Structures are given as structure tokens and as C-alpha cells.
Amino acid sequence: MSAQNALYAQSGGVTATINASACGVIETARRHRGKIGRVYAARNGILGALAEDLIDTSAESTTAIRALMHTPGGAFGSCRFDLSPMPQGRSQYERLIQVFRAHNIGHFFYNGGNGSAETAHLIATELPRLGWPVTAIAIPKTIDNDIVHSDCSPGFGSVAKFVATSMREAMADLASMSHSSTKVFVMEVMGRYTGWIAAACGLAQPADKDGPLLLLVPEIHFDRRRFLAAVRLRIARYGWCAVAVAEGLKLRNGRRLTQAGGDGIPGHEQLGGVAPLIAAMVRDSLKVKVHWSALDYVQRAARHLASKTDVAQAYAVGRAAVGYALQGRSDVMPVIERISDRPYRWRVTPAPLAGIMNREKRLPRRFLTADGWRLTAHARGYFTPLIRGEAWPPFADGLPVHASLKLRRVRPKLKSTFRENP
Amino acid sequence: MSAQNALYAQSGGVTATINASACGVIETARRHRGKIGRVYAARNGILGALAEDLIDTSAESTTAIRALMHTPGGAFGSCRFDLSPMPQGRSQYERLIQVFRAHNIGHFFYNGGNGSAETAHLIATELPRLGWPVTAIAIPKTIDNDIVHSDCSPGFGSVAKFVATSMREAMADLASMSHSSTKVFVMEVMGRYTGWIAAACGLAQPADKDGPLLLLVPEIHFDRRRFLAAVRLRIARYGWCAVAVAEGLKLRNGRRLTQAGGDGIPGHEQLGGVAPLIAAMVRDSLKVKVHWSALDYVQRAARHLASKTDVAQAYAVGRAAVGYALQGRSDVMPVIERISDRPYRWRVTPAPLAGIMNREKRLPRRFLTADGWRLTAHARGYFTPLIRGEAWPPFADGLPVHASLKLRRVRPKLKSTFRENP
């Protein structure tokens, strides 16, 4: 009997390094051809598995697979869709068994965050129960850095490096404009529930006693009066003030600022960004010129400035996932364990999915100073190794070159179709 | 009699490479110590000259001056302030003569855009007329690329490289999300009056017949119905659509979209960004999920991804300015002349300020296709050499290292003060 095939899929919001994990999976599987057959990729995450829309990665050259290391986005398509637990999910599992049987799939790798870990867990537990033995492994990926039991999440180091760099550069710009023009700059970063990315912006400023940069995270309720006083103080002291704000910043009543219509500023309706709200608040209250930016996809796709540490970890969790499958381990996630800060040492270890899925790691309060505005030394010790090292992609004619894949579809074998409305 | 000193100053919105011009000025002057004495830098542009707030760059080490090559922002501070023509400006010129005489300043270099060229021109013409012979030279700098008689403006190539790279990366992200989530991404870039930066985003897409990326520039009036039809068509054809929009996008009546309160979308008041307006328009009309970003300072400060061509040109115009001063030329700007596209060859030549100041070079219509959405081959031939080559800054602990200057103030010699309210 020939070796069973593997199915790899990407899920949730993509990152600058999720494709490095894909590369880790595919390259490692290719090194064990006797034990793992072909690696298929589901198009658009689990939806492609349900739809029998599979890509045969064995049609891709060694060079093309290697190029995934420097390609942002999700090369095989992602999705915002999770499987349902039993009994509602029964038809989904039965469909997956049809597809897995038709294509002799014995290993499933799901590259995603907290929600995707549950989908991997359900496949690991329900498919064998319903008659199709499979090893299912969740590969961690999220810019949000909120996966429990993992010291950090692949994808986070690169976004942290990009936002901290951008803030440092924008602060240099602001400092030179502040004398006769702009006095405040507000930069909005991702982070709907957690402040990991906003906090990483704090690295832009040296570890001094104080400084012109303020951090606003969802874990600390926003107090308009305190904030404006802090901005005013910094303008007086430094001539200018920079602000890094997480998109999910909350008021004391638990509502997001962007839901609250601008904290009661009349005429300032929300258009999807917290930065313009904060900017308007500062401008109207302190009567100074304010600039703001909202980075959105640009931050999480910024592969041109990826962290070398992050790229290495993203690859390592992909490789480890295949190693676990070869050992017959299932229902686990390869997570990053930090062994030491200086020198920074880490390793990949397996963690059971049941303890990870649908949980969320918040930014610890001790990462920020008592006033909440700046990073502590502890936080710097945590963040710095994660953004260290550059991993420049190749450039041609001034622009980064990304992988060019054939994405050859596997001929469908099933007559029936299954349509899951996403 | 000892050689006269020089005064260098930065003006207007800064760029990722304005300090490379400062480096070109200072290093070149240091090579001609017999002919040029010290190079002073005015703090915060011409305002520092009026206030006798001068920095002695001779206190800076060779290494520190060299580090200006990879430092964004304006190292000596910039300003938003122009001198007034005669007769209103008489007190300003008289004050400048006091300061120049007190510090034996015989050469003035003003690093800025169209408005700053007029200030340099006024100094070149009025100061000698009022009794202080001086050579005054404007050094070009603007991300807007709108300086006439120069093939391109130092600062533009780097911002063009950054926005085109960011758009290419964000398109990879969007493509992977589009099946079950976001279908449209809108990226706002700078360009209040001209579409040079927005047009450069077009490089993110290969030179195919068509594509999923639309460009919106101020030179072409925005037509809501046509735009929405173009977005709808691209979603149908590619599954998704990306939009690059200049902040100064205008309606047919000549008003900016951001002034018009969102083209009549009820409840969508302006908060300073055109991207959220476009995003809301698409979301509400086409009922699809939309993401948007507004880059603001982050784009023009992005020295980490500077164009090697741009850095070389920024340095070259600084060096040329000193060369002109040594030849006794005044009232000119060193501009970039393109000799050929392939291979790209350029040189620096002097152009009289009277023909440059307060004029503006718009994006030529032939740079965009007939439908207005994409770049022509002609435009690609123009843009590509400007973004070519990488000029990575040094990094430490994961972040770019910037110049650390002493900024030693020259002891003031005048008893009187002069306060210009900026």
C-alpha cells in the first residue's frame, strides 16, 4: 500500500510568513516520500477541502516552493470559516471523509489561529470516530500573538518589526515638522482584542525614563481626559507627541471607541478607524495640527521587512508538524517555547489542541509601565528577540519578487458536490 | 580673509532621503575647506536663520554625517514658512543680512520644494541688492514629484518604491482573503494636488492588458458611478479589487472628496482621509467587505525601503549645489536630467529658480490608460528606474539605526531677536 497523502490548508487572517510554514510542510514531506505521498493544498482553507477543490503541490518546482519563504499573503487562499462541533457538523465530517478517502489523505495540517485550532481538533477527533483515521495538526499563525501555550505566534514578529520601524521613522519625520507644523502623529495598528502589536510600537523609542510616544491598548480602558493631559505634557516637554493605538481600543464601559462614535465628539462618525477619532479628539481639544495613519493590511503583509526570527519560527512549526505526523501524533500544535532571553534560544514542542483552541492570550499588564504609556524592561526583553534579524526578499526592477505557483487542481473524483455557504 | 561659511536648511514636508542631500552638502563642503568655511545648519528651516538658531555641523563626526544617508525625517528640523517678496519681506531680508554678516555666511542652500525655491530665489536676489552678496541655491526635495524642469524630485523614488511594494504585498493578502471575506482593499497615499504617488502604486501590478488594481488621481475627476462599475467588474473577473487613491482626489465640480463629505453619503463625515470615504462607498453600494489603509507619514518616512536611485540622486543634488556655489553660481537649482531610459542614465544640471518656483508639474494624462485606471507602458518606463535598487539602512536589535547628531548650537552674536510667527 502506497504512503498516504497529506492535506495542508491556510485559515483566518494571513500573515507575512504563513507561506514559510507552507514551505516547511512541503519541503519536509518531500524529504519523506516513502512515508508521505503527495502534499495537497486545499484552496481557500477548509472550504476547499469540503468542495474537493485541491491543489497538487507536487506540480510545483523546488524553486517555487522555496520562494514561499519570501511571499506574503496565503499562497493557497485562506478562509473565514470554522467547522461546527457535533452533532451540527456531522454532514461536514462525512463530506471530509468522502474527500479524504477519495484522495487517500491520512494527514491534515491546518495553518491558523485559535479558531482554526478547533477545526483541526474536530478533524483529529471526529473523523477517526466516524471511520477515517487521520492525524490532524494545527500549525500556529497569527499576527495577534494571542495563542496560549506558545511563547509567540509565527507572523507576529514580522508585524511587530514593521510597526516599530514605521513608528521610529514617522517619529523622525514628526520631530522635524513639529516646530511650525504637525505636533501629534497617531498610528493605528491591528489588534481587535489584544494590544500586542500596539505595544510592539513601543520599541521605536529607546528605553529611557520617559519619552514622546504613548501606547493605547485594548487591555487598558481609554480615559480621554488622562490621555489628553499626557499628550499635552509631551508636547510641552518634547515639542511633539506620537501615539500608537490598537484598533480595538475600549472605553471604560467596554465598548470600542469606534463603536461609540468617537467618544461623543459631535459630527465625528466612525468610518472604520480609531486613528481618525483619536486625531480629531486631539486636534479639537488641544488646537494643534495632527497627522494620522491606519496601516491595516499593509502591516501584516509587509514581507519586505520580515523578522528573520519569525521566518525561521514559521518554517520550524511547519517542519515540526510533519515530524509529528510521521510519529503518529495527532490533535496537537507545534508551539514555540522560549528557553532563554539572552542569548535568545527557543525550540518547538507539541501542545494538545484542547488546551489552546478558542482561548486568547492578552497582553500582560506588567508589559506596560504603571501609567500605561510605555514598555517596561520586561516587555523589551520579550519583544526584542522576536523582531531581530532581517530576511530581505529578492527584488527585481525595484519591487519584491513573490512565488509564482502553478496551483494545478487535482482532478475531482467525487460526483456529489458540497456547498458550504461561507 | 578666511573662506566664508555656508548655511544649509531644510524646508517643507520632509522625505526619506532629504538628509542624504544634507550629507552631500556637508561632505562636499568639507572637501573644499579652503574655499568654504564651516557649514552651519539652520534649525527648523529659514525660521532658524531668522532666529539666529544655528547648528555647527563641524562638530559632527564623519561617521555621524555619513549616517545621514540612511536617516529619515529632517535632521536639522524643517518648517512650513516662506519669505515674503518685497516690499513686505524687507524686515526679513534685513534680519537675514544681520545674521549672515554676524556669522560670515556667503553661501545659502535651501533644501525644499516649489515654495522653498522662491525663498531661495528671494535670498539670491534681495540680499545682494540690500548689501550682502550671497550665493543662494535651492536643493530639490519633495515626495510629490511636482518640481518642473527636473525629471524627478529627490524623495519621490523612495516613496514610490514603498507604496508600490506595500500595494503588491497587500494585494497578495487580499487575494488570499477574498473567497470568503474581504473583496476590496483601498490604500490612500499622499498627493494633495498631483497623482504621482498614486500612479506609482500601479507598478504593483504586472503590465498586463487588465488587472484587479484601480488608480484614482486628482488629475482625473472622480465619477462615482463609473468607479463602482469598474470595481464590480473586477470583483466579477478576479474575485477582488484593489484601489490606490491620492488624498487630493477631486469631484467634477473641483472640490476634494474629503471636502464634499463623502460624495453625499449620509452620515459619513470626513475625518481627514479619502480612503475611508471610498471604502464606505464601495461597502454600502456593492455590499462587500472592504479594508482600507491610509499611510500618511509612514510612506514618506520609510527609509528602510528607500530606492537606491533616489538616495544617489538626493546625494548628488546636495553635492552639485556646493559645486555651483564654488563656481559662484546663484539663484539656481540642481535638477535631474534623464539622458536615457534603458539603460537608465541621468545627470545633474543647473536650472534658474525663476522658472521653477511656485510652479507644479502634474501627472501627464498619457501616463494612464484611456479608461484612467492603469499605467501605460510609457509610465512604466518613467517610474521603474526611479524605484530600482535597494539601500538598506543598518539595523540593530531588529530596528533601523538612525544618525545621532550633537546638534551643537552656534553661540548667538546678535543682541536683538527676531520673532516670526510661523
- In tens, the pLDDT along A202-255 reads 999 988 778 999 999 999 999 999 999 999 999 999 999 999 999 999 999 988
Model pLDDT, residue A125: 98
Q: What are phi and psi of B169, to 5 degrees?
A: -65, -45
Query: Residue B267 above 70 pLDDT?
Result: no
A 165-224 residues inside an 8 A Cβ radius of B: 165-166, 168-177, 179-181, 185, 187, 203-204
Model pLDDT, residue A210: 87
Q: Nearest by CB to B298, which of A71, A187, A300?
A: A187
**∠ CA(B379), CA(B204), CA(A165), 5° rounding?**
120
Q: Is B144 a catalytic residue?
A: yes
Query: Residue B261 above 60 pLDDT?
Result: no
Contact A51, A417 (CB under 8 A): yes
All structural domains of chain A? 5-142+308-359+393-400 (3.40.50.450), 156-300 (3.40.50.460)
Q: What are phi and psi of B74, to 5 degrees?
A: -110, 110
**pLDDT-above-70 percentage for chain A:** 96
Instruction: For residue A72, list chain B residues with Cβ-Cβ distance below 8 A.
Output: 169, 172-173
> Which amino acid does the sequence have at B266?
P
Contact B125, B331 (CB under 8 A): yes
Please, which pLDDT band fits residue B260 given cuts at 50, 70 and 90? low
Model pLDDT, residue A259: 74
Contact B262, B234 (CB under 8 A): no
Instruction: For residue A402, list chain B residues with Cβ-Cβ distance below 8 A.
Output: 168, 172
Closest chain A residue by Cα to residue B81:
A180
Contact B298 A301 (CB under 8 A): no
Say which range, A102-106, A179-183, A367-371, B265-269, has the weakest mean pLDDT: B265-269
Instruction: For residue B161, list chain A residues with Cβ-Cβ distance below 8 A.
Output: 398-399
Contact B268 A268 (CB under 8 A): no
A 68-97 residues inside an 8 A Cβ radius of B: 71-81
Contact A193, A146 (CB under 8 A): yes
Say which range, A65-79, A262-276, B131-145, B324-338, has the weakest mean pLDDT: A262-276
Q: Nearest by CB to B395, which of A175, A300, A390?
A: A390
Name the minimum distance, in Å, from the CA of B346 to any CA of chain A: 17
Mean pLDDT of A355-370: 95
Mean pLDDT of B88-113: 97
Contact B293 A294 (CB under 8 A): yes
Please, which pLDDT band fits residue B263 given cuts at 50, 70 and 90? very low
Q: Which of B82, B161, B176, B407 has the highest number of chain A CBs within 10 A, making it the mutation to test binding with A? A: B176
Beta bridge partners of A409: A55
Rounded CA gap, B246 and B243, in Å? 10
Give the active site residue among A53, A56, A82, A144: A144
Model pLDDT, residue B259: 74
Please, which pLDDT band fits residue B347 given cuts at 50, 70 and 90? very high
C-alpha cell at A26: 512541503
Instruction: For residue A43, list chain B residues with Cβ-Cβ distance below 8 A.
Output: 179
Name the minimum distance, in Å, from the CA of B2 to any CA of chain A: 33
Instruction: For residue B80, list chain A residues with Cβ-Cβ distance below 8 A.
Output: 177, 180-181
Rounded CA gap, B368 and B196, in Å? 11
Please, which pLDDT band fits residue A260 given cuts at 50, 70 and 90? low
| Relative orientation angle of helices A274-286 and A224-238, to the nearest 10 degrees | 70
Dump pLDDT digits (tens) for A114-166.
999 999 999 999 999 999 999 999 999 999 999 999 999 999 999 999 999 99
Cα A205 to Cα A9, A14, A226, B400, distances in angstroms: 38, 28, 21, 12
- For β-strands B54-56 and B39-42, DSSP reports them as antiparallel
Q: What is the interface pTM, i.e. ipTM, of the complex?
A: 0.96
Q: What is the DSSP string of B156-212?
A: HHHHHHHHHHHHHHHHHHHHHHTTTS--EEEEEE--SS--HHHHHGGGGS-S-S--S
Instruction: For residue A276, list chain B residues with Cβ-Cβ distance below 8 A.
Output: 271-273, 276
Model pLDDT, residue A1: 55
Q: Nearest by CB to B291, which of A276, A297, A422?
A: A297
What average pLDDT is seen over chain A?
A: 94
What average pLDDT is seen over chain B?
A: 94
Query: Residue B168 above 50 pLDDT?
Result: yes
Contact B297 A293 (CB under 8 A): yes
Mean pLDDT of B142-155: 97
Please, which pLDDT band fits residue A419 given cuts at 50, 70 and 90? low
A:B CB pairs within 8 Å: 245
- DSSP assignment, residue B399? E
Query: Residue A98 above 60 pLDDT?
Result: yes
Query: Residue A344 above 70 pLDDT?
Result: yes
* pTM greater than the 0.95 cutoff: yes
Instruction: For residue A73, list chain B residues with Cβ-Cβ distance below 8 A.
Output: 169, 171-176
Model pLDDT, residue B420: 59
Closest chain A residue by Cα to residue B284:
A271
Q: How many CB atoms are located within 10 Å of the residue A203 CB?
A: 26
Could you check whether the bond before residue B343 is cis, i.e. omega within 30 degrees of 0?
Answer: yes
Dump pLDDT digits (tens) for A32-45.
999 999 999 999 99
Please, which pLDDT band fits residue A4 given cuts at 50, 70 and 90? very high
Tell me if chain B has a CB within 8 Å of the CB of A135. Answer: no
Model pLDDT, residue A418: 78
Instruction: For residue A386, list chain B residues with Cβ-Cβ distance below 8 A.
Output: 398
A 23-62 residues inside an 8 A Cβ radius of B: 43-45, 47
Contact B271 A277 (CB under 8 A): yes
Closest chain A residue by Cα to residue B184:
A297
Model pLDDT, residue B1: 55
Query: Residue A196 above 50 pLDDT?
Result: yes
Model pLDDT, residue A269: 39
Model pLDDT, residue B191: 95
Tell me if chain B has a CB within 8 Å of the CB of A358. Answer: no
Give the active site residue among B56, B144, B146, B310: B144
Mean pLDDT of B74-84: 96
**∠ CA(A358), CA(A360), CA(A366), 5° rounding?**
165
Dump pLDDT digits (tens) for B295-314.
999 999 999 999 999 999 99
Instruction: For residue B386, list chain A residues with Cβ-Cβ distance below 8 A.
Output: 398
Rounded CA gap, B262 and B6, in Å? 49
C-alpha cell at B186: 483601498
Rounded CA gap, A262 and A307, in Å? 35
Q: Which of A79, A83, A173 has the highest number of chain B CBs within 10 A, making it the mutation to test binding with B? A: A173
Cα B179 to Cα A239, B13, B174, distances in angstroms: 47, 40, 9
Query: Residue B132 above 60 pLDDT?
Result: yes
